[in-house]
Amino acid sequence: MLLLKNADVYAPAATGRADILAAGGRILRIEPGIRLPQAYVEEVDAAGLIAVPGFIDGHVHITGGGGEGGYATRTPELLLSDAIRGGVTTVVGCLGTDGITRTPAGLLAKARALDEEGLSTFMYTGHYAVPVQTLTGSIERDLLLIDKIIGVGEVALSDHRSTQPTFEEFARLAAEARRGGILSGKAGIINVHMGDGRRGLSVLRRIIEDTEIPATQFLPTHIGRNPALFEEGIAYAKAGGLVDFTTSTVPAFLDEGEVKCSAGLRRMLDAGVDAANITFTSDGQGSLPDFDGQGRLRRLDVGRVTSLFAAVRETVRTEGVPLATALRVITANPARILKLRGKGVLAAGADADIVLLDAESLEIDGVIAKGRWLMKGRQPLVRGAFE
Ligand code: ZN
């Protein structure tokens, strides 16, 4: 058993100073003044630390992605230590542009590997393309038969790399995902890669208007990638749509008009968007091409899952968004939207996924996943198999 004493608890709502008792991978109790015989419990003084739910990163290319500059630009797999350093205890893996050399079977194997190494993992079936290339022959079968598959993605829209799906094709895809989700008790959500194309969110808006499929069936990502998509995203979210910001970026993207996650969240809240409709994901292990002023490729960088909490921290420290509100976009919101039970909250009965933050600097001090210490006193305690 693990007893964290005197932590300042954000569940993610601020609930004040309390002790957290965990055993068997679950949180048993959260209340002040818990006392147990020393022989049965590892007691840790968490005074000066803020306890928050382990972070959920809902869009990570865990098997690597990229490849858009040829084979040499295929990006590497996610390392366990990157997730630990970023406080990420739950990961949703996905494929991107490449659905030939990257496969759902490989993604499932990597998700299982990270699970064995201590994280909680899920995955999307498919990649950019429509029709969706599944693991078992159909989206519904994947959702019903493969525990880790919670939806479809990332399917590309309004992008030169998409398969240019028609409205009918995309509506049918959404319908299959919806039925599979209903029958399996999962989200069945479609993670939609939004490109820079002028059509923006129009296909999603039309499906929501013209069919019976609700807005909650879609989680469009990269919503801050350009000013036009961001503005459309505000209207879309105010009308009940869900929107996801990508935290991995490079200076060149921001120079070209990408809306920074911290400023984007602040502006959406100021515009009256319900905070419950917004999530952040890292796009970790995706490729980030860095171009010089003449548009020449300078170097390729790789998205990092450590950018996830860095963006939330920046939202608190530079945009003045309350910690409890900012935390929601990587904890309670993705847990609810993706139907990840026991995740994203600190509460009795929830999984013992806990991140400890320094109360002054908001730096990550400790990480506990499924009740096990992965980082303690800023020192990583666990490494991946080949690290
Ligand atoms: Zn994408």
pLDDT in tens, 224-273: 999 999 999 999 999 999 999 999 998 888 888 999 999 999 999 999 99
How far apart are alpha carbons 308 and 160 in whole angstroms? 27
C-alpha span between 58 and 60 (Å, rounded): 7
Say if 178 falls within a structural domain.
yes
Number of domains the chain is built from: 2
CA of 97 to the centre of ligand 1 (A): 8
Query: What pLDDT was estimated at residue 206?
Result: 97
Q: How far is the CA of 237 from the centre of ligand 1 (A)?
A: 19
Are 157 and 221 found together in one domain?
Answer: yes
The alpha carbon of 193 and the centre of ligand 1 are apart by a number of angstroms equal to 4
Residue 159 counted as domain residue: yes
Q: Is residue 96 part of a domain?
A: yes
**Mean of pLDDT values over 312-328:** 97
| Order of strands across the sheet that contains 120-125 | 55-60, 88-93, 120-125, 149-157, 189-194, 218-221
Q: Is the pLDDT of residue 295 over 90?
A: no
pLDDT of residue 299: 77
Q: Taking 90 as the threshold, does the pLDDT of residue 375 lie above it?
A: yes
Residue 369 lies in a domain: yes
Annotated catalytic residue: which of 57, 142, 244, 283?
283
Residue 387 lies in a domain: no
**104 shares its domain with 176:** yes
Indicate whether 266 and 371 sit together in one domain: no
The span from the CA of 174 to the CA of 269, in Å, is 28
Q: Domain end: 306, 321, 337, which one?
A: 337
Whether 100 and 14 map to the same domain: the answer is: no
Same domain, 193 and 155: yes
Predicted local confidence at residue 40, as pLDDT: 87
pLDDT over 90 at 39, yes or no? no
**pLDDT over 90 at 69, yes or no:** no
| 75 plus 37 within the same structural domain | no
283 flagged as catalytic: yes
Residue 85 is assigned to a structural domain of this protein: yes
From the list 305, 367, 371, the residue with the least C-alpha distance to 83 is: 305
176 within domain boundaries: yes
Question: Binning pLDDT at 50, 70 and 90, where does residue 38 land?
Answer: confident
Q: 186 and 79 in one domain?
A: yes
Same domain, 150 and 8: no
Ligand 1 center from residue 238 Cα (angstroms): 23
Query: Could you tell me the two tokens for 359?
Result: 């109360």
Radius of gyration of the chain (CA): 20
Helix (H), strand (E) at residue 355 = strand 354-358
**Does one domain contain both 208 and 292?**
yes
How far is ligand 1, taken at its centre, from the CA of residue 190, in Å?
12
**237 located within any domain:** yes
Q: Can you tell me the mean pLDDT for 214-227?
A: 97
Mean pLDDT of 272-298: 87
| Backbone angles phi and psi of 16, in degrees to 5 | 95, -175
Q: From the CA of 153, how far away is ligand 1's center (Å)? A: 9
Contact 279, 330 (CB under 8 A): yes
Q: Which of 321, 337, 353 is the last residue of a domain?
A: 337
Average pLDDT, the chain: 96
Distance between CA 155 and CA 130 in Å, rounded?
7
At 307, give phi and psi (nearest 5°): -70, -20
DSSP 258: P
Q: Is the pLDDT of residue 289 over 80?
A: no
Whether 108 shows a pLDDT value over 90: the answer reads yes
Question: Ligand 1 centroid vs 8 CA: distance in angstroms?
Answer: 36
Residues 148 and 266 in one domain: yes
Average pLDDT over residues 150-161: 95
What is the DSSP-derived secondary structure letter of residue 344? Answer: S
- Whether residues 363 and 300 fall in one domain: no
CATH number of the domain that residue 359 is part of: 2.30.40.10
> What does the pLDDT look like over 175-211, one tens digit per residue?
999 999 999 999 999 999 999 999 999 999 999 999 9
Domain ranges, residue 18:
2-52+342-380
- CATH number, position 138: 3.20.20.140
Residues with CB under 5 A from ligand 1 (ion): 154, 193
Q: Report the separation in Å between the CA atom of 213 and the middle of ligand 1, taken as the mean of its atom positions.
A: 23
90 and 106 in a single domain? The answer is yes
CA of 283 to the centre of ligand 1 (A): 7
Q: What average pLDDT does this structure show over 352-378?
A: 98
Per-residue confidence (pLDDT) for residue 291, from 0 to 100: 65
Please tell me the distance between residue 357's alpha carbon and the centre of ligand 1 in angstroms.
Answer: 30
- Is pTM, for the whole model, over 0.95? yes
